[in-house]
Amino acid sequence: MASTQQPPASGKALVFARRAFSTLLLWVLVVAVFVSHWSWAFLGLVSLLAVLSCIEYFRMLKAAQVACFPGFGIILAVAYSLGLHTFHLRGSQAAGWFDGLAVFTALAGAFTLQLRRPIRGLESLQGVAFTVLGFVYIAVFFNFAARLLFITPDAFETPGRVGELGALLLLWLLAVTKFSDMGAYLTGSLVGRHKMIPHVSPAKTWEGFAGALCFAQLAACGLPLLFPPLLPVLGGWGHAIALGFILALLAVVGDLAESVVKRALDAKDSGRVLPGIGGAFDLIDSVCFTAPAMYFYLQWIQPAA
């Protein structure tokens, strides 16, 4: 008797549907935060994603039986986020010494914890190295997204609220980064033929890379047209286009960097918080590279902007 069961939907279509659903929910949340303009909402969202990503990172390490200090790393990520954001909520930029103190604490603390364990070759250094790496890579780098909110002239005009220009800068960063991710995914899925770095990510193609660059420019140039006050903060069209290309390149590098981590630890996704996307770390991997780059770039051009 012939089976009447319908064939299952294609794997790619199912992943695309789940990814689209998760992306829509995320953008609804992001839009709600941007509309509110409340400082605590912006900083709370950044802190939540940073801490969740750190938890996922250390969970992957533990699953792979890699030496590390997960409790210390997570506590440090929470303390760093709270400390950094306290500077912002008090109406000032974080002091220059704060990051140095945080890295010193991470390194000195990890070595101190290692003193309690027997020396086992490279494993003893791995415990320190992987703990510090996770803290700097995720907690420090991703929190540059929050720093962008407070580098504009109107940052502290209204206590407890983010200035319009700062919110637009963060929106521009997220749009360029995520359009780059989306362009790589869509173009690679539809016309991708030539593998880019198969030993790191078999799905990445050069066609997808070209799509990432093109889609990033749509956001980089489109948002200043929709929000004209954004363009002077970016330094004009030349800087907006140049920074758009830089962020697109780093978005790809950031995505591949997490792929290196996951392949080294034999993990498919960092978590299951977001259907079709994975975990929080899968969501912010690109921003961990693009946010610091944009912050430093804007600081560099500030005298000329």
Predicted confidence at residue 304, as pLDDT, reads 43
Predicted confidence at residue 148, as pLDDT, reads 93
For the stretch 62-71, pLDDT in tens is: 999 999 999 9
Domain positions in the chain: 18-301
Question: How many Cβ atoms sit within 10 Å of the Cβ of residue 30?
Answer: 17
Series of mean pLDDT values for 10-residue runs along the chain (305 residues): 42 67 77 87 93 95 94 96 85 74 96 93 92 97 94 80 92 94 86 84 86 94 95 94 96 94 87 73 94 95 61
- Report field, pTM of the whole predicted structure over 0.85: yes
Contact 132, 108 (CB under 8 A): no
Predicted confidence at residue 305, as pLDDT, reads 41
Q: Collect all residues with Cβ–Cβ distance below 8 Å to 175 and sequence separation of at least 6.
A: 219, 223
Measured CA to CA in angstroms, residue 215 lies from 25, 182, 225, 287, 291 at distances of 21, 8, 16, 16, 18
Predicted confidence at residue 91, as pLDDT, reads 65
Predicted confidence at residue 134, as pLDDT, reads 96
